[in-house]
Structure 1
C-alpha cells in the first residue's frame, strides 16, 4: 500500500544510507526495487547502474577497497539477489565492508512455509547469504528498514570487516513508515571497543621477545592495512631493524623507499629465507592463509607473536606463542613505546636491496615479457592511479611483484581467488574518485563482465582496461601442458575486443607485447578523462607465487 503522507520505507532506506555516509552505490533495477532507486536519487545518492548483479557487488567491493568506506549494492529479488553470491564470497574472504540490499517478495503475498510461486519467490532468500556474510538481516516492517540498514553498515565496517546482506520485502519500500525510525540496536558485546585492551604484562613480554631477538621479522596482513597501521609498523620495523614482509592484501602498507620493506613475495626463495632465518616473527592482522604460506609448507617460526582483532583468526593456522588481541594500529603503537633501537638497519637495507636485484634479475631471465609489463606499469601510470588485477597470469605477476606505492592502490582478488573480479571491481574503484582505475585482466576473465563497457561509458568513469589476450585460460593451459595433458577447455574463441569496445563508444587499441607501443598507448590512455581499453597480444608464463611454481615441497 502506497504511503499517503509522512515517510516511506524506501525513504527510510535512503536516509539510513546517508547516515552511514554513503554517497554512491551500485545496482540493477527490477520491478521490486524501483522505489529504492527513486528514494536514493532524491537523497542525492548516486546509484550507478550495471548490467549484471554480480558486477554491482564486485563494484561495491572495489569501491570499499579503494576508499576504506562502505560499499553498497542494490539489487532485486530472487535471481537478482542470487547473482551477487560469487562477489559476496570474494568480499567475505577479503574482509571488504560491503552491504548487499536486496528486495524480497512482497510481504502481503507470503504464506508461512509455502512457496506460492510469486514472481522471483524462493523459500528463504536470506539463507543463501548466511554462509558468505557476517550477518543476513531482514526488515520486519517498513518501520524496521532504517534500523536494519544502520545495523548492517556498522556490522560490515566493524573489524573484522566483511559483507552483510539486508532483505527488504518489496511492499515495504512504498508503505508508510513511522514518523520516527526505530532506534539503532546495540551491537554484540564482543564489539572492538570492548576487546581493545591488551594486558600490560603481555605487551612487556612482547617487547622483551622482540628487543632480544637476533633476527626479528614483521609479517603484515590485510588487517594491518585496514586498521591504518602502516606508519606504526614502519617505525617499529626501523627500531627493530626487522624486514617487513607483506601479504597480497597488505601491499603498499609501507612506502617503496622504506629501508625495511621486502618488496617481493615470500614465495621467492630470497624472501622466503628471511622467514626461515627469523627467530621471532611479529604477525600483524593476518591469518596465514594457504595462498601466502604455500599451503602451510612454511615452517612455524621458533617464536610467533600475533596482533589481531580476532584471536581465533590469528591462531587458526600457526599457533602463536603470544597473542595481543586488539586494533592493529593501536597495539603496534603501544608495543613500540619504549622499545630500544637496535643496530643493523643499514645492513638490513643493503640485504633487501640485494634481494630486490636478484629477484628482478630472475624475472628478466625467466619471463622477460613480465619484466617489461612491470616496468611499463611502474614508469607510466599516474601517481594517483589504482591498479586492479584479475585472476590471470598478468594479474599474478602484478599481485606478487608490482611495487605498490601506497595503501589501497592495488585491488587483487586473492581472498577467494575469484575470476571475473577485475573489470567490474574497477568500476567501483573509478567511481570512488581517488585516481584513475587501471584494470589488468585476461581475455577469459574480461568476458565475464564485458557488458559493463556500457556502464563505463554511460557513467563516464575514469578507467583504463588492459586486456592481456592469449586466446584462452593461460594458467589452466600451463597446468595441462606441465602435466603432459592435452588442452581441453582452455583455448577460447575471443571477439575483436577493439571493435567491441568501439561499438560501445569507447576508445580502444591493440598492441603486440609490452614494449614501446604498449608504454606509449598506456601513457596516453591513462591521461585521458574518458574510459578506454587497450588489448595486448601476449602469452606469459606464471610467476613463483602461483601454486604450480611454489618452491616449498
Structure 2
C-alpha cells in the first residue's frame, strides 16, 4: 500500500519560480537565519566575533530578535534559561576558537539539565580545515572535538547547501527526549559567500517520541499495584516532559509518597499530603526510601545528590524510567524503562485502573517530615529558614527563580517551595558558578511581562556582573538577590570542616548596590528583617534591579552517614 507520506513532495509553481530566482544579496548567514525562522525560532542569543559576522549581518535582514550578552558563557546560560522555561530550542551564535570555548561550561550545564540549546559556531575558512595549523586567527586543530564530549550531538555544514539540513537535524536532536544542547559548525567563508540557494522553507525537524515498551510498563504496573510500601522519586525529567499532572494522578492512585529531586523541584505539589518535599540530604529521608518495597524513579539517574552522596542502599525493587539511556540502571539495578516521563506515566495510568487502598501513606509522610523538621529546628538555623520564607513571600507564584551555587541555594534545594512546576532552576546539573543571573535574563526574554528572580553569592555574582549592562540595555525584569558573605561561602565551609584553615575562599568585592547604579540599574542594600519588603518592591518595579543582603549563612548539619541524624 502506498501512503501519502511515501509520495514525492512537489513544489508549487510559485515555489518553483521563487527557487529559480532567489533574492540577491543573500549569504550563507541568511540560510542559517532563514532555517531557524522556518523551524519556529523567534530569538537568538550570542556574541559576535570576526569569523561569525555574516551570521549577525543576516540577523539584520531577518525577523529574529537578537539578545547579545557580554560573555559567551553567559550567553549560553541565557539560552539555557530560555530553553528551560519555554521548552523550545534556543539558538546561540558563537564565534571561532576562544569565543566558542568560553561557552563550554554553559553547554555542560545545559547537557546535565537537558536544556535544548542550539549552539551555532563559525569555523576558520574551509580551506584551512584538516588538522594542521594554517595561521588563521582563533584556529583550533579540531574545534568540534572540544564539544563532542559535552553536547548531545555535533552537526557540520561544509557547504552552503548543507546548512538547512544540518540545522534541521540539530533542532530535531535538541528537542527529542532527552532534550539537550547541540553543536553546529560552519566555516567563515561558507557563511560570508553570496548564495544562489533558494530561500529556505519550513524544514521538517519533528522531534522523535520516546514511548515505553508495553511489556515493561505492564510489569511495572503489576509491581506498583501489589506493593505494600510504594514510593516515588520524581526528577527533572518529569518537569522537562510536562508530566507533573500525570505524576500527581499516579501518586494518588497508588497512595504513594513522592519526593522530588533537586532538579525535579515543582514536579509534585509541595503541600500535598503525599509530598515528601525534597529533603534528599537527610538520613531520615534516605531511611524512608530504603524501606520502600517498590521505588518508582521517574526522570532521575539517582546521582550523587539524589542518592544522599551515594549512601542510599535500597532494599526493595526499583523501577526506573528515564529518557537518557546513559543514566538508566547506571547506579542501581532496576527494571529500566527507556522512555520519556510523560508517555511512561500515561501508560502506567492506563494500566493501573484501580486505586490502591490508603495504608497510612499520608501519616508516614507526616512522620518523616516531622522528624526532619525536629532535627533542623534543633540546630538553631532559624535565620536561614526565615530568608527562604521571605523570598517565597515576595516572589509571585508564577515567577521563575534561578539559583547559583551558593549556601542559600543548598538550603533551597531541600527547603524551598517552588509553588509551581518549572519555576525553580539551578546549576546543580554541572555545578558551575555564574548561572543564575544570565539564565534569569533568558527567562525574562521569553516572558518580559513576568518578573524573574536570580539568587547568587558574591563570589558567583562576579562571574556575571557584566550582564547588568545586558539587563539594562534590554530592560529585562530580573531582580538579582546577591547574598554577600565576603567570599566563596560554601567552599569556605567545606575547607573549614576538612582542613586546618581556608585558602582562596575570602574575596575582596565591590559595593554591589553602587556598582548596579553605575550600570543604570537600581540597587539597594537590605537586611534579613526587610528582605521580603525590599524584594517585593524590586520585583514589582519595571526593568532590572539588584538587592544586596550582607549575611554569613550556615548549612544544616550533614546527615548522609548511616546513624548520623543529629537529633
Task: Pick the TM interval, shorter chain.
Answer: over 0.9
Q: Compared with structure 1, are the counterparts of its residues 419 and 113 closer, same or farther at alpha carbon in structure 2 (3 Å cutoff)?
A: closer
Within 2, Cα distance between the matches of 1:70 and 1:362? 43
Equivalent residue, structure 2, for 1:326 = 339
SS of the residue aligned with 1:315? coil
Q: Which aligned pairs between 1:121-520 and structure 2 lie closer than 5 A? A: 121-177=139-195, 178-179=197-198, 192-193=208-209, 196-200=211-215, 202-320=216-334, 322-339=335-352, 340-344=354-358, 347-366=360-379, 367-433=381-447, 435-512=450-527, 514-515=528-529, 517-520=530-533
Secondary structure of residue in 2 paired with 1:44 = coil
CA displacement at 1:414 relative to structure 2 = 0.9
2: CA distance, partners of 1:98 / 1:342: 41
Tell me the distance in 2 between the aligned counterparts of 1:57 and 1:231: 30
Q: Whole-Å Cα distance in 1 between the matches of residues 102 and 469 of structure 2?
A: 19
- For residues 124 and 478 of structure 1, do their structure 2 counterparts lie closer, same or farther at Cα, with a shift above 3 Å needed? same
What is the CA–CA distance in structure 2 between the aligned matches of 1:466 and 1:504, rounded to whole Å? 16
Aligned to 1:44: 63
Aligned to 2:41: 22
Q: Is the 8 A contact 1:311 1:323 kept in 2?
A: no
Cα pair distance change 1:181/1:522, threshold 3 Å: closer
Show CA shifts across 1:440-466 (max 9, x none): 100000001111110010010010000
1:67 aligns with 2:78: no
Classify 1:8/1:358 alpha carbon distance in 2 versus 1 (closer, same or farther; 3 Å): same
CA contact (8 A) 1:30 1:76 kept: yes
Shift in Å, 1:86: 1.0
In the alignment, the residues of structure 1 paired with residue 425 and residue 469 of structure 2 have an alpha-carbon distance, to the nearest angstrom, of 22
Match of 2:16 in 1: none
Query: Which TM-score applies when normalising by structure 1?
Result: 0.92
Contact 1:63 1:431 in 2 (8 A): yes
* Contact kept in structure 1, 2:39 and 2:202, CA below 8 Å: no
Aligned-partner Cα distance in 2 for 1:381–1:362: 27
Counterpart residue number, 2:560: 550
Residues 305, 186 of structure 1: alpha-carbon distance in 2 compared, 3 angstrom cutoff: same
Query: How far apart are the structure 2 equivalents of 1:357 and 1:123?
Result: 58
Which runs of no fewer than 5 residues in structure 2 stay unpaired?
1-21
> Does the CA contact (< 8 Å) of 1:147 and 1:185 recur in 2?
no
1:171–1:471 distance in 2 versus 1, CA, 3 Å? same
SS of equivalent residue, structure 1 residue 416: coil
Measure, in 2, the Cα distance between the counterparts of 1:362 and 1:417. 27
Change (3 A) 1:182 1:482: same
SS at 2:466 equivalent: helix
With over 3 angstroms needed to count, the CA separation of the structure-2 counterparts of 1:68 and 1:184, relative to structure 1, is closer
5 Å-filtered alignment, 1:34-113, equals 34-108=53-127, 110=128, 112-113=130-131
Moved more, 53-62 or 308-317: 308-317
**Are the counterparts in 2 of residues 506 and 532 from structure 1 also a CA contact under 8 Å?**
yes
- Cα distance in 1 for partners of 2:554, 2:178 equals 35
Normalising to structure 2: TM-score of the pair? 0.90
Q: Distance in 2 between matches of 1:226 and 1:119?
A: 39
2:48 counterpart SS class: coil
Return the alpha-carbon distance in structure 1 between the equivalents of residues 515 and 378 of structure 2.
36
> Match of 1:337, SS?
helix
Q: Does the Cα contact within 8 Å between 1:506 and 1:533 map onto a contact in 2?
A: yes
Return the alpha-carbon distance in structure 2 between the equivalents of residues 181 and 541 of structure 1: 56
1:489-535 per-position Cα deviation (integer Å, ceiling 9, x unaligned): 111111111111100001001123x22x1111111001111100000
Secondary structure in structure 2 of the residue aligned to 1:426: helix
Say which SS state the counterpart of residue 462 (structure 2) adopts.
helix
Cα distance in 2 for residues equivalent to 1:430 and 1:180: 31
Residues 148, 212 of structure 1: alpha-carbon distance in 2 compared, 3 angstrom cutoff: same
Q: How many residues align?
A: 538
What are the Cα deviations for residues 129-149 of structure 1, in whole angstroms up to 9, with x where unaligned? Answer: 111011222211112112111
CA distance, structure 1, for counterparts of residue 283 and residue 551 of structure 2: 27
Cα distance change on mapping 1:505 and 1:18 into 2, 3 Å: same
Q: CA RMSD in A?
A: 2.2
